[in-house]
Amino acid sequence: MKNYLLALLIFIGYLSPIQSVFASEDEHEGEEGISKIDNNMAKKVGVETAYLASKTLNQTIPVYGSTTIGAEQLFQVGARYNGVIKTINSTVGDTVKKGDLLAVIESNES
C-alpha cells in the first residue's frame, strides 16, 4: 500500500508540469502549491477522487481458544459440617458480597 501511494504521488508530480503547460495562467492565480489533473487525463490513468470524512474503523480478528477464570479470582467455599445441599442462591460468575447467603445445607450435626 505504501508503494502504491508513493507511486501515485510521484506520478502526480510528473503530471503537474504537463497540466500547467496546457492550462491558462488565469486559472491558477492564487493557487500556489496545488496540482490539478484534467478529468480526461485522470480517467485515462485511473486516478479517482473521493470526499474524506471521519469514520470509526472496526476490525474483527477470529481467535481460537478458551477463556478461563484467573486463579486470583477463584475462592473455594466450605461448610462447617458435612451435609446435603438443599438450595444454591448464586451461580458461577455472579458477584457476591460478604454476608450473602450462597447455599443452604442440611446436616444432622448442624
Q: By CB neighbour count within 10 A (0-12 exposed, 13-18 middle, 19+ buried), where does 42 fall?
A: middle
Q: Comparing 108 with 21, which gets the higher pLDDT?
A: 108
pLDDT for 68 = 81
Q: What is the pTM assigned to this prediction?
A: 0.31
> H or E stretch including 43?
helix 39-45
pLDDT digits (tens, 9 = 90+) for 48-86: 888 888 888 899 999 898 888 787 777 777 777 788 889
- Cell 495562467 belongs to residue: 25
The pLDDT score that the predictor gives to residue 64 is: 92
The yes-or-no verdict on residue 1 having pLDDT over 80 is no
Q: Cα torsion for 96, 99, 103, 109, to the nearest 10°?
A: 150
pLDDT value of residue 18 = 47
CA nearest to 46, candidates 59, 33, 37: 37
CB 36, CB 59: distance < 8 Å: no
